[in-house]
Amino acid sequence: MTGFELREYIREYIGREVAACMQCGLCTAVCPVSSFMDVHPAALVRRAQRGDIDLASVKSIWICVGCMACVDKCPRDVAPGLVIEALRMIALKNGVELKKYSELAIDESTPTIQLVVYSRRNTG
């Protein structure tokens, strides 16, 4: 998927414009689980701008707990949490299976909310 196609999909799906991101990093700063991600929220948005995301391998889209703290902070109304939601939808539509626990970097320091949200996603 090209950057143009990915930006179009995100625009249609969540009504937000990833091209507006100015890489201020606030979304990453407020994200409670960014330290568990392989690609932090601001970098995910940057990659979405460029269409440079391998949705079959990136783990962050399954680590995000959907708390939307980043949405409140974004000065450009990009709504990174919703962008990640759109990326999850694209991945699932393209046949990527939900990640298994064993494929995620989960240990005793992992926030409980992450496990709860992850379980919900796996059980519908």
Q: Which residues bind ligand SF4 (CB under 6 A)?
A: 21-27, 30-31, 33, 41-42, 45, 64-70, 73-76, 78, 80-81, 84
Q: What is the nearest approach in angstroms of ligand SF4 to the Cβ of residue 45?
A: 4
Residue placing its CB nearer to ligand SF4 in the complex, 85 or 96: 85
Q: What is the nearest approach in angstroms of ligand SF4 to the Cβ of residue 2?
A: 20
- Distance, in Å, from the CA atom of 64 to the CA atom of 59, rounded to the nearest integer, reads 9
Q: Which two tokens stand for residue 49?
A: 């701008």
From 2, 87, 81, 91, select the one nearest 42 (Cα to Cα).
81
